[in-house]
Structure formats: C-alpha cells, structure tokens
Amino acid sequence: MEEKILVIDDEMHIIELLKFNLEVNGYIVDYSLDSFEGYHKAKELKPNLILLDWMLPNISGIDVLKKIREDEDLKDTPVIMLTAKNMERDKVKGLEEGADDYITKPFGIKELLARINSVLRRYNMTTNKVEDVLTVKDIRMDLIKHEVTKKDKKIDLTIKEFDLLKLLLQNKGKVLSRNFLLDKVWGYEYFGETRTVDVHIRYLRKKIENDGEKYIETIRGIGYKIS
C-alpha cells in the first residue's frame, strides 16, 4: 500500500518541490498552505507522515504539533519539522513537543528522503512487530498489542518513547549508550545529537515515573539502563 504524506507549509515553491520529489519516489502527497486547514486535513486524511513547517500563518507549526499530539486520532502520526530555525534550543523545543525529526531549510532532497524513510521504517517496525510481553516492576509492555500499562493502567507513549522503553526492557540490566539508542531508535546517523535521546528519556520518565518510583537509571557520561 502506498504511503500518504501531508505537507503543511505556507511556501508554495517548497510544496511543489516536495510534492514532485516525493511522488517520484512513490508517495501519495497532499498539502496545505494554512495551519488550521492542515490540521483538519490531517484528521481527514490520516497520513502516514506529516511534514510540518515551523513558521505558519495563524498559528505556529509548534502549536499545530501540540494539537496533533493531543488528538486521539493523530497522536501517533510521525511528524518531521521543516524550518529555517537552526538554534539548538529550537531543535530541542521541537523534540520536546513530540516531533520525530527536524530538518532545517534549505535542505537536500536526498537527506529529507532518508529521514522520511527512516521515520516510516521505525514506525512500521514498531506497529507491526509481534513479540512477547516485557516487564519491569509494575510496568508491563505488550508488544503484540503495542500497549504499556503500569499497575494495569494504560500509559500513552509516543512511538519514540515506546521504542526507547522497549530497547531498555529488552536489555534489562545493561547500560545502553546514547549513540546506540540513536542508531537503534532513529535508524540513521543523527549527527551526533545525543541530546535527542536525553529529551525523549526525560519525557518518558515523566510518564512512567509520575508516582516517584524510579525505573530508568542515568549512567553518567554513557547512557541509560533499566534494572
């Protein structure tokens, strides 16, 4: 089945460039020039991936991303942010709000295609994987149902958070380096930005350690582990 990509960007020449190159590579592409329309189009189309510009009229791309992550139908949709912002704090903000990846303008089509393929590959591997049940203390991860519970109460995780927790549980007791986690979860060389892992681990901790119980241990200078 062909995968659908929705582009939300207010620059028509960017949309035309993306639409042509993505369709040549076998994707079905739709687009919106407006943030409100883009959000509602996403709800209607339920795309496999969204390319979302940061600087949009009406409301910013970050605010659109927040709405996507709060929407029950869209919350697990992979989102790659497209933006001219190149400061580390902006990248971190995008990741903290739930972006799966981040690419700055101007960008090369080959790099963008590689990022899209990587995000979709990780998403498809996660959603289609049929394995066992992983546990630690009172946390239970069902890889068949793609569900995480704590004391029988469901915990809503993003795809990246799910993948990180799965790796940690599959390697319980082992220290996993940030670079290892980058490679396994993001699926390609992420320019050494190990802060990406730290951001997602922080949000994962907020969700599974909300009662003060500690699960993820930081190994200073190396990475993380679950025992």
Confidence band, pLDDT 50/70/90 cuts, at residue 8: very high
Task: Please give the residue that has the higher pLDDT: either 67 or 130.
Answer: 67
% residues pLDDT > 70 (the chain): 90
SS3 100: coil
- Which residues, at least 6 apart from 28, have a Cβ–Cβ distance to it below 8 Å? 2, 3, 4, 5
Q: According to the model, what pLDDT value does residue 130 have?
A: 44
**Residue 125 clears pLDDT 70, i.e. is over it:** no
Structural domain boundaries in the chain: 4-126, 131-226
**Residue 69 clears pLDDT 60, i.e. is over it:** yes
- Which residues, at least 6 apart from 177, have a Cβ–Cβ distance to it below 8 Å? 222, 223
Q: According to the model, what pLDDT value does residue 90 have?
A: 64
174 alpha carbon, distance to own chain's centre = 24
**Residue 51 clears pLDDT 80, i.e. is over it:** yes
Is CATH 3.40.50.20 the right assignment for the domain spanning 131-226? no
**Residue 39 clears pLDDT 50, i.e. is over it:** yes
- Tokens 């940061």 locate to 54
- Which residues, at least 6 apart from 73, have a Cβ–Cβ distance to it below 8 Å? 43, 46
pLDDT digits (tens, 9 = 90+) for 88-116: 666 676 677 788 888 888 888 998 999 89
The topology (CATH level 3) of 4-126 is: Rossmann fold (3.40.50)
Do 3 and 120 meet the contact criterion of CB atoms below 8 Å apart? Answer: yes
Prediction pTM value = 0.58
pLDDT digits (tens, 9 = 90+) for 144-185: 888 999 988 999 999 889 999 999 998 888 899 888 888 888
Q: According to the model, what pLDDT value does residue 165 have?
A: 94
Q: According to the model, what pLDDT value does residue 104 have?
A: 84
Q: According to the model, what pLDDT value does residue 129 have?
A: 46
Q: According to the model, what pLDDT value does residue 126 have?
A: 58
Mean residue pLDDT across the chain:
86
Q: How far is CA 113 from CA 19, 77, 108, 118, in A?
A: 12, 17, 9, 8
**Residue 131 clears pLDDT 80, i.e. is over it:** no
